Structure 1
């Protein structure tokens, strides 16, 4: 009986100790979360210990740096506003240097910095809008210039065609109005003491060569005086007669024996000229005669004296 009472008492004591241990453990672990929760709060204060003004300062610097990049993009457009944009970009850089130098700015300074940042943004917006307007105007101007160039090109092509047609017409009229020569003839004459001329084929009897040709009629050709050049060559290709040189101004020249003039009136005309050999007698052989209208040869003839 006594032994059973002792065992009950021991069991009760263990139960009290067990309950006390659980309560102590609960108290210990219930206090730990409070300590853990409070620690991050202390750490956060240490990390974010900067003042609101300092944070504003950093934000303003970031905004200014982004604004500077935006100005670089606008400057890259290379418009008439580039110089003004470069100046504004320099103002941004100067403002950034000033802000960087102020480590602990006051609230009033922050307001001033914000105001300057806002003004620079507004200025950029206005410049960007103006650049867009200029680009639009330039695009319209280029379109107008291209249209004008197309019109001018077409007009030039039409003018070139008209000029070409005019030149062809002038050439046709010139060819049509040109007088043609014909009936080229060379005759040797012996002049008697009585003054009478007698045709001959003997060199020793020849006193002169009578050279004749006809000017054909052309209703398109202009009337008036015309001059033709006669060139007489002997057996050695020596030019007989006046032996004069005439230049025509287009790098062409002619040595002629004598001139023949005619007053052309729209009808066929027979023309002749005479070559006298006063210095020496005509020698045996063949003489060649060329007929020229300026530098252009119109025909030729020849005579052989025995």
Structure 2
């Protein structure tokens, strides 16, 4: 009887323990599942935030690189080379890309890829232009060196030419001076004429029928040969030109009033030349007469005579 009561009491107890155990297990499993779901949700949120931060950082890095690249373009443009205009266009592209990136909010991976590609293209363009600038500078340097060398040669050649020209001018001047005729032995005498026609020198004014002016054309082997004309100017006491009293102009505002002309056929050797001024209707008076000898407008010598 006692054993039966114990068995009756044990069954309900066992059933209650079993129910409590199953409930506890369900509760634990439910809690674990909820915890795992919460962890998964937090992980997804962290992953999403990390992805956003990564794209933002990449966007910022691209923009920073573009700022640096623009500064590099600025420096290259300051070189003021033949490529400056092309560099300015490339810099404008960089500035436009910067504005686009600044205006982009949460760019996608595809957009960032495009930005990176454009950045790479701009960098490559700058590198190519810099290489071209270096090449141009090298060519310009070589050209300047060549020009300097040519300038040195030209300067030396000019100096030689100037020396030759100077020598030539000196030679021409020497030849011109050497070819000029020179006169000497300037003399003037008064002549009287005897009834027989013989002419004798005199110093008496009343006896003087003519004044004879003479000179020597010195020999010159390099002077031009042929007819040479000389002008004689006779002045009386009042400085009046006697004889023909004619005016001749030589150009360059040069002119001469002469008394008479004498000429000779010059052949390189010395020649005695003379001319006379006749009294005609104007007898010579007492006093001193001055005679000037001209080769064109250039006075070559003078002489004088005093008649009593």
TM range (shorter): 0.7 to 0.9
Match of 1:156 in 2: 158
Distance change in 2, residues 1:279/1:144 (3 Å): farther
2:108 is the counterpart of 1:114? no
Offset from partner CA, 1:268-287 (integer Å, 9 cap, x none): 21111222355633332111
| Cα offsets for 1:22-62 (capped at 9, x unmatched) | xxxxxxxxxxxxxxxxxxxxxx99x9895322222111111
2:52/2:106 contact within 8 Å kept: no
State the Cα distance separating 1:171 from its structure 2 match.
2.6
Distance 1:263 1:195 in 2: 28
TM superposition shift of 1:231: 2.1
Tell me, in whole angstroms, the C-alpha distance in 1 between the residues paired with 2:261 and 2:279.
16
User: Quick check: 1:259 aligned with 2:298?
Assistant: no
* 1:302 matched residue in structure 2: 304
Q: Secondary structure at the match of 2:184?
A: strand
2:307 and 2:203 map into 1 onto residues whose CA distance is 5
**C-alpha RMSD of matched pairs (Å):** 2.6
Taking structure 1 as the reference length, the TM-score comes to 0.77
For residues 115 and 242 of structure 2, what CA distance do their matches in structure 1 show? 107
Please identify, of 129-138 and 224-233, the stretch whose mean Cα deviation from structure 2 is larger. Answer: 224-233
1:130 paired to 2:145: no
Q: Which of structures 1 and 2 has the bigger CA Rg?
A: 2
- Residues 247 and 255, structure 2, Cα contact 8 Å, conserved in 1: no
Instruction: Name the SS of the counterpart of 2:63 in structure 1.
Output: helix
Matches within 5 A, 1:66-77: 66-77=68-79
Task: Give me the whole-angstrom Cα distance separating, in 2, the residues matched to 1:142 and 1:253.
Answer: 58
Task: Show CA shifts across 1:132-187 (max 9, x none).
Answer: 00000000000001001111111111111122222222233333333321221112
Between the two proteins, the alignment pairs up a number of residues equal to 261
Does the 8 A contact of 1:227 with 1:262 survive in 2?
A: yes
1:206 aligned counterpart, secondary structure: coil
Following TM superposition, by how much is the alpha carbon of 1:191 offset from its aligned partner in structure 2, in angstroms? 5.3
The gaps in structure 2 that reach 5 residues or longer are: 1-45
Report the equivalent of 2:89.
87
The question of whether the paired residues in 1 share the 8 Å contact of 2:180 and 2:223 is answered with yes
Choose from 38, 53, 72 the match for 1:51.
53
2:109 paired with 1:104:
no
Higher mean C-alpha deviation, range 82-91 or range 279-288:
279-288
Task: Report the equivalent of 1:286.
Answer: 288
- Structure 2-normalised TM-score? 0.76
Deviations 1:70-117 (A, max 9, x none): 111111111111111111111111111111111221211111111111
Distance 1:103 1:291, change over 3 A: same
Give, in whole Å, the separation in 2 of the partners of 1:164 and 1:187.
Answer: 46
**Contact 1:71/1:124 (8 A) holds in 2:** yes
Please show how residues 1-306 of structure 1 align to structure 2 within 5 Å: 50-190=52-192, 197-241=199-243, 242-249=245-252, 252-278=254-280, 280-306=282-308
Q: Pick which of 78-87 and 284-293 moved more.
A: 284-293
Deviation at 1:194, TM superposition (A): 7.3
Deviation at 1:201, TM superposition (A): 2.3
The structure-2 alpha-carbon separation of the partners of 1:253 and 1:105, relative to structure 1 and needing over 3 Å to count, comes to farther
Rounded Cα–Cα distance in structure 2 between residues aligned with 1:274 and 1:176: 30
Alpha-carbon distance between aligned partners in 1 of 2:66 and 2:248, rounded to the nearest angstrom: 89
Distance 1:211 1:101 in 2: 114
Distance 1:239 1:103 in 2: 115
